[in-house]
Structure 1
Amino acid sequence: MRLTSFLLSKANKKLGDVSKKFANFPDEYIARSMEQLHWRTPRAPQYSDKTIERKKFRFTTNRPWTAQFYQQNMPGTIRKKVFVEPIPPEQWMYFRGDRVEVLVGKDKGKQGIVNQVIQERNWVIVEGLNTHLRAVGADKTFPGILIQSEAPLLVTNQVKLIDPVDLLSTEVEWRFTEEGERVRVSKRTGRIIPIPSLHEETKDYKSKSLYVVREKDTEAAVVSEITFKPKLATFEMEIMESMGIEEDRIPKKTYWY
């Protein structure tokens, strides 16, 4: 079957909202962790502002803010191209806590709970299913330890959501209720499949309402308050203005060649 696919290596380096939600990291921190600069012009008036940076990344189960992700995407590394069927963010159906049925492999027909979503690769990891053994800590003198690891599954053709009416797999689509709420609905029975509460959890809290604001946390009221007012002045000029200092010196003429 021919798919309108695109190269993952050419995908935007912005992560999917669903896959990064659990980490609860700011976008600025994620962008800084992924940044790999090859060359940047000096920050001086006589130079145009140009930056050459890496924009092609290979996403895996290792998240972009980890050292393992950097090792897999080190400068100069050449890896096999990966094709991913594009799924618009607004059409994404799978969330942490969903019950799904595995359609392939040794666990075909079994049901499990999604415990991780990797939206950039159309992957979900189902707890306890589609596992394999891998050796950890092996060297010349020690054979290593075998641990059971869960392999990712494609949401396009390897898993299906479970209908809460009869606990059977079903095709799902997004619809709107009479109140205007956007919900997932089973195509077979028309039953609404609610988004699990596990999707709202992060590493910092089980629920936003239960989170206790700490001493060094920035309160939401402060974040929403706009304190910066743009002005055609440098930092030094603003300091001089606030202190009532007037500049009466005449700068020397300069020439650029």
Structure 2
Amino acid sequence: MRITNILFSKVGKWSKQFSNLPDRYIERAMEQVYWRNPTGMQYKPNAVVKRKKFHFTMNRPWTAEFRQDNAPGKLSPKVFVEPIREWSFFRGDRVEILVGKDKGKQGIVKQIIQERNWVIVEGLNCELKQLGDDKEFSGVYVQSEKPLLVTNEVRLVDPSDLTGTSIEWRFTEDGQRVRVSTRTGRIIPMPASAEETIDYKTKATYKEQPKDTTAAAVSEITFEPRLCTFEMDIMEKMNIKEDRVPPKSYWY
């Protein structure tokens, strides 16, 4: 349980990267405060009771549908999720389905929901949903993809022979971390769409906007760690010499 809380304390990394939203916005969108201390010197600051357990579905945490699924007072059945430290599936990967009516078929991963170990394969594992059914109108049927577990329902496809395989992470001679097929030993390259977000297709093609912080300013190293305290660092820069010797102290 402790490992699960650590791994799922944040929103899924790859889902959040595609949305290109900051952490503070997602935390504010998910926040449900039951009780908070009033402001004032006589009250303890930052004393707040929040909702910590959320029911994750295909609706992303910054949407209105997610807030409706986790409305105050609404309790959902507990879902046990196997924590995965090494996430091996990315948007654009070709995978093979191992269960269901589309067993043996291959498709492209178009969405990742890391909080539930889910991937959505484009055009496969679909179901029909009836919308708008009432007395005057029979409604319409909409086809949508159902999620698949990455643990036992899908596996990556080896590009050398287009056959499903298990993988493991290894390092190349250049020190690059890659996915390698355990069956053939071939490298499974990262898909180009893994870098895609709402704002750009790839990082290289993104054009800096006037209000953006430039890449040179972000990559500039402005702090060098040293083995001295803050006071010692200031004294050295201001050329202040300390000759006093502190008295010995004994702790029993």
Which TM-score band (shorter chain)?
0.7 to 0.9
1:136 to 131, 137, 145: 131
Structure 1 residue 141, shift from structure 2 partner: 2.4
Q: Secondary structure at the match of 2:142?
A: strand
Structure 1 residue 222, shift from structure 2 partner: 5.7
CA distance in 2, matches of 1:181, 1:13: 28
Q: Secondary structure at the match of 2:49?
A: strand
2:24 to 22, 28, 37: 28
Are positions 1:111 and 2:110 aligned together? no
Structure 1 residue 173, shift from structure 2 partner: 0.6
Q: Would the aligned equivalents of 1:133 and 1:147 in 2 still touch at CA under 8 Å?
A: yes
Q: 188-197 or 41-50: which moved more?
A: 41-50
Q: 189-198 or 14-23: which moved more?
A: 14-23
Are positions 1:54 and 2:90 aligned together? no
Give percent identity, aligned residues only. Answer: 62
Q: Secondary structure at the match of 2:18?
A: coil
Q: Which amino acid in 1 is paired with 2:69?
A: Q
Structure 1 residue 225, shift from structure 2 partner: 8.0
Structure 1 residue 142, shift from structure 2 partner: 1.9
CA distance in 2, matches of 1:5, 1:141: 52
- Structure 2: stretches of 5+ with no match in the other structure: 223-252
Q: Secondary structure at the match of 1:199?
A: helix
CA distance in 1, matches of 2:164, 2:8: 32
**1:199 corresponds to which residue?**
194
CA distance in 2, matches of 1:30, 1:226: 28
Q: Secondary structure at the match of 2:28?
A: helix
Q: Would the aligned equivalents of 1:183 and 1:192 in 2 still touch at CA under 8 Å?
A: yes
Q: Which amino acid in 2 is paired with 1:120?
A: E
Are positions 1:42 and 2:38 aligned together? yes
Q: Would the aligned equivalents of 1:162 and 1:168 in 2 still touch at CA under 8 Å?
A: yes
Structure 1 residue 11, shift from structure 2 partner: 7.4
Q: Secondary structure at the match of 1:138?
A: coil
Q: Deviation per CA, 1:222-252: give whole Å up to 9, x if none.
A: 667899xxxxxxxxxxxxxxxxxxxxxxxxx
Are positions 1:186 and 2:181 aligned together? yes
**1:68 corresponds to which residue?**
65
Q: Deviation per CA, 1:36-84: give whole Å up to 9, x if none.
A: 1111101211111211000100111100000000000011111111111
Q: Would the aligned equivalents of 1:103 and 1:159 in 2 still touch at CA under 8 Å?
A: yes
Q: How many residues align?
A: 221
Q: Which amino acid in 2 is paired with 1:66?
A: T
1:79 to 76, 79, 87: 76
Q: Secondary structure at the match of 1:114?
A: strand
TM-score (norm 1): 0.80
CA distance in 1, matches of 2:37, 2:219: 35
Structure 1 residue 218, shift from structure 2 partner: 4.2
**2:11 corresponds to which residue?**
15
CA distance in 2, matches of 1:6, 1:134: 36
CA distance in 1, matches of 2:206, 2:33: 37
